[in-house]
Structure 1
Amino acid sequence: MNTGSPTGFRPSRRRFLGMAGGIPLAAMTANLTLGAGAAHAADSAYVMAYFTESTTMLEANYGLHLAVSRDGLQWMPLNQNNPVVTPTEGSLGLRDPFILRKQDGTFVVLATDLMGTDWNYVSQYVHVWNSTDLRTFTGYHRLKLHDMNTHSWAPEAFWDASRGQYALIYSAVNASGHNVIMVNYTTDFITASGPQVFFDPGYDVIDGDMAVGVNGVNYLYFKKNGTLVGARSTSLNPGSFTPFSTAVSHGGTEAPTLVKSNTSTAWYLWGDTYTPNGVFYAWRSTDLSAGTWTALDQRLYTQPLNSKHCGIQPITSTVYENLVAKWGAPVWNRIKSYNHPGRFVRHSDSIGRIDPYPFDPYTDSQWRIVPGLADRSGVSFQSVNQPTRYLRHYSYQLRLDANNGTSTFAQDATFHKEAGLADSAWTSFRSHNVPTRYIRHSGYVLRIDPIATPTDRADATFSIVY
């Protein structure tokens, strides 16, 4: 069922947002259904639900995590990337959390009932929480969806106006022995109708994601053999969807998410590599009905640290600000390379370098960017997991050394932020005591060098993210 290979199937869900040409996704139109959650005219920000895993499972946590974003691209984890609530029934863990704003404006959170990666664990239930503001979670329970000897993976829901009910879709194995998308209908997420097959093309499919009512057509994207594929129908009736799109993937990819730009005709399709060290990727299309996609530049988006199988819901600025006030912003940052946007600054064996995300210990890439030790108008990079140590240059190479309290160390560890040498929206860091030199990577190792060529400028340009 699930081996981690491109043909393996396992639970997944993520809903991510994108933009075109650097234009952020802000408020959505009032009548557009975004994936399975309806956007509203006042929306100007986003909340993401996810769980965490990392390459060695150092950061494996199966509680509900939240992050927020103003533009749907650059995400800020809340509560220091710790869970805000954790299941207390069933497996005592969750995967694939999904947030839906209901018709009354409150929220419901759904999630797979599964702790870890025991794919043989069978639960006919999904986790459910209610919330008025995503700061408090009430009414926790598990909702039973069926009596079959199979799972209930990757739940999400959407409003079916023709029925006056919410459709709750999820992945389960049918009588023929392959995964299909099932559906139950509910008005309250406490009780639900009996299960029906919503989509069965005759082969394994999981991770259904909906875009409802787009020019009179409904779209369902799903995972097939490690690729993302779309189906469509002019109704929301079970059995009415027909596959039509060109498959996309980045290695083994799962959990498709459809998002409409509010500033253009562009649509975005998001997916996640489904190993424990999952990475989000995105594709763009100017015509959802065409079913063809172009890969989006990784410079445009950064997922929350170690996030997996996420769900995203548009929110208002007030909800955004209240979430940050409640849960707090991270006290650390990560630093992303401009010309290798899949790589982040980290220390390894006390050497500063850029390495492909993700890796463990993931804490090697977390930095407290503090006032400069030699000049408070500059900055110094204090290690999170070795807080007595700072990045400093020594013989022009960056090292992670303990602060010995000397003036020389303070100057070596101080840098000045400037507009990015390759892109002014990014950042470059000029050495305090060798001001003709900037931090750059060379052979993926960090050093300070004079900058002369376009390659030098790209090597010396970074983005401060979470």
Structure 2
Amino acid sequence: MTTRPPTPSRRTLLRAMAVLPASAVLVGELPGTALAAAPPSGSATRYTIVPFLNSNDGTVNVYQSDDATDFRLLKSSAYTPPSNRIRDASVLKHTDGFYYLTYTTHTWQDVSTTIGFARSSDRANWTFLYDYTVPIANLSRAWAPEWFVDSDGSVNVIVSCSLTSNEWIFTPYRLRATNSALTAWSSPVALSGIGANHIDTYLVKSGSTYHAFTKNETTKYIEYATASSLNGPYTISRTGDWAGWGSYREGPSVIQLDNGGWRIFFDGYGDGSYYYSDSYDTFATWSAPTALPVISGTARHFTVVKETVSGGPSLARNVTRSFRSANYTTRYWQNQSSLLNLPVVTGSSTSAEKTASTFTVVAGLADPNGYSFRDSSGNYLRHWDFRARFDANDGTSTFAKDATFIARTGTSSGAIRWESYNYPGRYLRHYDYQLRVDRTDGTELFRQDSSFGPVTAWA
């Protein structure tokens, strides 16, 4: 039996062509803006992605996450189109309650004048709808369609298209749905100002401004542009390695996190990883790119749909509780010399030890849907240099954020994982029986180490 080699990437071809003579060089959703806040008690945030695989562009997996970092498999090979390929799938939750995919229908070697559509009621089981021929004269390739829902509710697809005159020079076009069934589309309109030689254009609207993230196919950097109208004209204001993401990056997808920051995901096809990076100043500066755990190296070009769903952790506020480790069930949170540790606590422990293991749960200082924790002296649990400790509230916004945690579902019944409010993807986690705010690595051990059950207070 012959082992099938990994599916070639269209980007592999484009990158390889960069070494050819100049005459042969190939150049080439946020659905609405919701208020950012931690999910209310009893609810959870859910992020869904539907990527094709590095080893197979004939099918897609579905992954979900409650923190936009630790994506876990919901269903493998969840959708295989009846013919052709599925690449660069973009996912949308529509007003009819269904989830919709739009995707590239052919691999990079082939002429590809259609984009595909599929639908699901549960994100796990998908039904093919149709392939749509993009009505552009002399079209060679229609790639990387991306959903964009405008603030007026109109549903659009931004698709990168090239002509037969130069099949590797791509321009972003807008298609607007003309019916609620998403089966009829307006004539394509090029996004003015972004222009040719850009691919994988992803749009976000914040306030009255449209923000575009688009890959320059010559430089291989993701560029940034803004406009006051969806069709443009856009002004490209950031080029080169302006955000510190590096080159050979593509497939940007931007969502707003629960703490109000923005996260971009992008395919680091040059080194085989998948990255995320965060911004808290409306896209001006970004954190250093970090590889996504678990799916990096497996998943390819995806977009993200974010929802608030029922069934999340529920914990009353303004009550006292103790917190027991999910995987070391004789050990509890305890304030030891202003540091949070995880010693053994039993019925025979001293009253001082029991008091130090008892905390008042209150609304989050930075977000009332989050949580903060006070010790018996009124000091708050916060992180400092990623170590969990107790300090007096100094009234600053930095302290409020350091002392606020978002409840995420734990590994055992009733257990909760506590994500840092201002460092998304980092959790209160015990290591050597000390509590730190560490970045998730996606392993089951980390999830257990960061899960704690709220129980009746020791004191």
The TM tier, using the shorter chain, reads 0.5 to 0.7
1:66 Cα shift?
0.2
SS of residue paired to 1:5: helix
Structure 2 counterpart of 1:83: 77
1:103 Cα shift?
2.5
SS of residue paired to 2:265: strand
Matched, 1:307 2:295: no
1:48 is matched by which residue type in structure 2? I
Structure 2 counterpart of 1:155: 145
Distance between the aligned counterparts of 1:195 and 1:33, measured in 2?
31
SS of residue paired to 2:82: coil
Structure 1 counterpart of 2:227: 233
**Correspondence for 2:210 among 215, 218, 224:** 218
Q: Return closer, same or farther for 1:70/1:207 CA change in 2, 3 Å cut-off.
A: same
The structure having more radius of gyration, on CA atoms, is 2
Q: Is the 8 A contact 2:272 2:297 kept in 1?
A: no
SS of residue paired to 1:169: strand
Q: Return closer, same or farther for 1:185/1:138 CA change in 2, 3 Å cut-off.
A: same
Matched, 1:268 2:263: yes
Please list the CA deviations of residues 252-279 of structure 1 after superposition, one character each: whole Å capped at 9, or x if unmatched: 1111122222214x2222221225x631
* Long gaps (5+) in structure 2: 1-9, 19-24, 314-428, 440-444, 449-459
Matched, 1:189 2:190: no
Distance between the aligned counterparts of 2:311 and 2:300, measured in 1?
23
Map of 1:442-457 to 2, 5 A cutoff?
Answer: none
Matched, 1:114 2:106: yes
**Correspondence for 1:170 among 143, 146, 159:** 159
1:181 is matched by which residue type in structure 2? P
Distance between the aligned counterparts of 1:306 and 1:161, measured in 2?
34
**Correspondence for 1:244 among 233, 237, 249:** 237
Q: Return closer, same or farther for 1:320/1:229 CA change in 2, 3 Å cut-off.
A: farther
CA RMSD of aligned residues (A): 3.8
1:154 Cα shift?
0.5
Distance between the aligned counterparts of 1:171 and 1:40, measured in 2?
35
Structure 2 counterpart of 1:22: none
Structure 1 counterpart of 2:316: none
Q: Is the 8 A contact 2:90 2:101 kept in 1?
A: yes
1:210 Cα shift?
1.1
Please list the CA deviations of residues 167-209 of structure 1 after superposition, one character each: whole Å capped at 9, or x if unmatched: 1111111587421101111133322122221245344100011
Q: Is the 8 A contact 1:210 1:221 kept in 2?
A: yes
1:218 Cα shift?
1.1
Distance between the aligned counterparts of 1:262 and 1:10, measured in 2?
40
Structure 2 counterpart of 1:258: 254
SS of residue paired to 1:252: coil
* Long gaps (5+) in structure 1: 17-27, 54-58, 322-417, 428-461
**Correspondence for 1:180 among 163, 171, 195:** 171
2:51 is matched by which residue type in structure 1? Y
Matched, 1:204 2:197: yes
Map of 1:26-425 to 2, 5 A cutoff?
Answer: 31-32=33-34, 44-53=45-54, 59-79=55-75, 82-89=76-83, 91=84, 93-115=85-107, 119-147=108-136, 148-162=138-152, 165-174=154-163, 177=166, 178-186=169-177, 187=179, 188-212=181-205, 214-224=206-216, 225-236=219-230, 238-246=231-239, 247-248=242-243, 249-264=245-260, 266-275=261-270, 278-288=272-282, 290=284, 292-298=285-291, 301-303=293-295, 306-318=298-310, 419-421=430-432, 424=436
Distance between the aligned counterparts of 1:44 and 1:109, measured in 2?
21
TM-score computed with the length of structure 1 as normaliser = 0.56
1:221 Cα shift?
0.5
1:285 Cα shift?
2.1
Distance between the aligned counterparts of 1:72 and 1:233, measured in 2?
27
Q: Return closer, same or farther for 1:426/1:219 CA change in 2, 3 Å cut-off.
A: closer
Query: More deviation in 62-71 or 186-195?
Result: 186-195
Q: Is the 8 A contact 1:67 1:304 kept in 2?
A: no
Distance between the aligned counterparts of 2:35 and 2:140, measured in 1?
30
Aligned positions, number: 298
Q: Return closer, same or farther for 1:294/1:425 CA change in 2, 3 Å cut-off.
A: closer
Structure 1 counterpart of 2:345: none
TM-score computed with the length of structure 2 as normaliser = 0.56
1:125 Cα shift?
1.0
1:46 Cα shift?
1.1
Please list the CA deviations of residues 223-275 of structure 1 after superposition, one character each: whole Å capped at 9, or x if unmatched: 11211111111221x232111125343341111122222214x2222221225
SS of residue paired to 1:314: strand
1:153 is matched by which residue type in structure 2? W
Distance between the aligned counterparts of 1:279 and 1:289, measured in 2?
22
Distance between the aligned counterparts of 2:27 and 2:66, measured in 1?
28
Determine what percentage of the aligned residue pairs are the same residue. 19
1:88 is matched by which residue type in structure 2? P
